[in-house]
Structure 1
Amino acid sequence: MGTLIDPMFCPTETGLGVIGGKWKGMILWCICRKTMRFNELHRMIPSISQRMLTKQLRELEESGIIEREVYAQVPPKVEYSLSSHGQKLKPILDQLEDWSREYLEQRQQD
């Protein structure tokens, strides 16, 4: 007999739950392009508070999407980059960006 699947379970919702929200998409868009320090990210997304940026980065790190590397120096240096698991998201995020550009162009024409 086949495995029963919970009709309320949707893998897409799981993925969107991990990377969704107001700020995670923008954070990932930045980090997908290059390894970044906290202040660089904050400059790229000036409308996010430092507290919220910290919270979102921690959630992405806990989810295994990004890595936080701390360098033992004074002043402390911390860099954020995609983890190996996060690297698998890059083509998906690139496709989502392409889709979004097409969508916005189409909406402007309507």
Structure 2
Amino acid sequence: MDPIPTDTHNIELQATIDDLEGGIGQLSLSKAVNRIDDWKREIEATEKSGLLPIAEGLGELHASLTGEGVNGDQVGEIMVRLGEMTEASADDAEEVLKHSLKRLGSLLRHAGSALRGGNA
């Protein structure tokens, strides 16, 4: 069972979309890591096994951003993968979240592709 009300998901989802639409270069590392951690916890709290790969990917992204020497190609690859999984998960989401999840997935894919030098 998902313990977070849909309204809260919508607010958090829109805030994440706004951050990414502003450009990842404008997003501080600490804010990005906090957002990643928040989403990882929320996804794990849903106890939906189909979402666990996204939570695992968020864990990878956290580690790649907080380890020694950030590798743009590696971060980009993870973001592209997360974007693809997020878009795919939108098909099973509540109707009010579908469009936003698709948008978030697209933003993640495009930002990841840019970090990888457009090789996505």
Q: TM-score range by the shorter chain?
A: 0.3 to 0.5
Q: Which has the higher strand share?
A: 1
Higher-Rg member (1/2): 1
TM (norm. structure 2) is 0.36
Flag the structure with more relative contact order, 1 or 2, with Cα contacts below 8 A and sequence separation at least 6.
Answer: 2
TM (norm. structure 1) is 0.38
